[in-house]
Structure 1
Amino acid sequence: MLTSFDNIPAADRVIVALDCDAWEAIALADKLEGHAKWLKIGMTLYYAEGPAIVKMFKRRGFNVFLDLKFHDIPHQVQGAARSAAASGADMLTMHTVGGVAMMEAGQRGAVEGAGEYGGEVPATLGITVLTSMSPEALAATGVARPLPEQVVALAAQTAEAGISGVVASPQEAAALRELLGPDAYIVTPGVRPAGAALGDQSRVATPAQAFEAGASHIVVGRPITEAADPVAAFDAIAAELESASR
């Protein structure tokens, strides 16, 4: 299925995950400036540095995916989303298992925070099933559905809640694109270039496979950030994606 993201340059659909301390994150951003458009700030970096790290990368011209995976009562998630959007974040995440009312509150908070920041409302994304989880790990939590069915069921609730899209593994991207349509954000971690170590990821695909399956954006961390030359690693992924899209 064609998507609303297909005309965006491939490099602008690759999100570099900065799961490290501030000094390393800043050094990586220095190298990637002019190559990468998106940086992901997760819990490791945000809990150490707070909103200031988002604001700094925004001043330097990057888009920021703030991946804090909100999961609480609706009132708390609304406030958290408002604060995240007010810091300038361009994407933020919440767990779909918090339910429709919680996600609706997160969307309201994102709108409120964007008004305070004076920018566009960030993309609001629902976490379905973590890409580190295998079918056996999911079943051990008490979920009776097969893993792909659980992902689709949770994604359907994001559409009901009116948020922008989902975070899911590349292996579920095709089914989610069919479900959510061409305009939904489908952001896929668990992306590894051919031959790269899997790390703690369980459900993975190559960058080209993720795009072909319908991902709007891919998240790549260690294959770029731990490479001897992060810029060369990023450019190689972007070139692979551009080639695959022709």
Structure 2
Amino acid sequence: MQRPLIVALDVHQKEARDRLLETFKHDSIYMKVGMELYYQEGPRIIEQLKKDGHHVFLDLKLHDIPNTVGRAMKVLSSLEVDMINVHAAGGRKMMEAALEGLEAGKPANAPRPKLIAVTQLTSTDQEMLTDELLIKEEIAHVVSTYAALAKKSGLDGVVSSALEVPLIHEVCGEDFLTVTPGIRRLSDAKGDQKRIVTPMKAKELGSWGIVVGRSITESIDPYQTYLEMKKEWEEGK
């Protein structure tokens, strides 16, 4: 499919969420369902989005022992989401178990959901990495090393800041998927994100897909903002 702009559906009041989804009813949108929404609504939100013709990125960032992650992925694969993720920090055996679970749980003749790994959250900066996580390496080196491990584990790609995408492609190849959150327009507030870029910059850096949340969902006109950011993302201007 065309490189997607993924809308983070971080709207937890059902009435507000239904109004937002109504504005997208004539388009097939790639939607991200995160932890809070999934824990609140469960599989029914996935069913609703798929019924309405949307693609779904289930953003649960699984991180546990390999057996637990593998079993969880087997269950989640039956929902026929399009993409799902784990934390690369869980290690190679965990990522391989996640992949095996997705293969085992998908319905017959259905494609396996894409599996990507979180390298470092876009809320993490070098100071946090060093002082709180006790990782002394440069953040770019940590991200590229985790990305290489994800590829060796058979995964389709990673989640990272767009700023690390060129290095990831250098290490893992151009076909390795790079999904980049932390996308803002120049006029938007940064919020709790540290390593952010515009849609145009993400395109220049080579991101495969971008994730946009509050810039769209908190806009006065979410659909128009979506179209504007999608144009910037696709056309680079």
TM category, shorter: over 0.9
Gaps of 5+ in 2: none
Write the letter of the residue equivalent to 2:52: R
For 1:25 and 1:82, how far apart are their aligned partners in 2?
28
Matched, 1:209 2:194: no
Normalised to the residue count of structure 1, the TM-score between the two structures is: 0.91
Match for residue 47 of structure 1 among 39, 50, 53: 39
Residue number in structure 2 paired with 1:127 = 118
Give the CA deviation at 1:182.
2.3
Give the CA deviation at 1:22.
5.3
Write the letter of the residue equivalent to 2:148: A
SS of 2:11 mapped into structure 1:
coil
User: Which segment is superposed worse, 14-23 or 220-229?
Assistant: 14-23
For 1:122 and 1:183, how far apart are their aligned partners in 2?
17
Give the CA deviation at 1:56.
1.3
Write the letter of the residue equivalent to 1:131: T
Residue number in structure 2 paired with 1:95 = 87
Matched, 1:85 2:87: no
Q: State the superposition RMSD in angstroms.
A: 1.5
Match for residue 219 of structure 1 among 180, 188, 211: 211
Gaps of 5+ in 1: none
CA separation of 1:197 and 1:171: change in aligned 2, threshold 3 A: same
- 1:64-96, Cα deviation, whole Å (9 max, x unpaired): 000000000111111111122111211101000
User: Which segment is superposed worse, 75-84 or 219-228?
Assistant: 75-84
- Describe how 1:1-246 pairs up with structure 2 within 5 A: 8=2, 13-21=4-12, 23=14, 24-35=16-27, 37-115=29-107, 118-140=109-131, 141-244=133-236
Write the letter of the residue equivalent to 2:11: C
For 1:27 and 1:39, how far apart are their aligned partners in 2?
15
User: Which segment is superposed worse, 210-219 or 225-234?
Assistant: 210-219
For 1:193 and 1:113, how far apart are their aligned partners in 2?
39
For 2:177 and 2:145, how far apart are their aligned partners in 1?
17
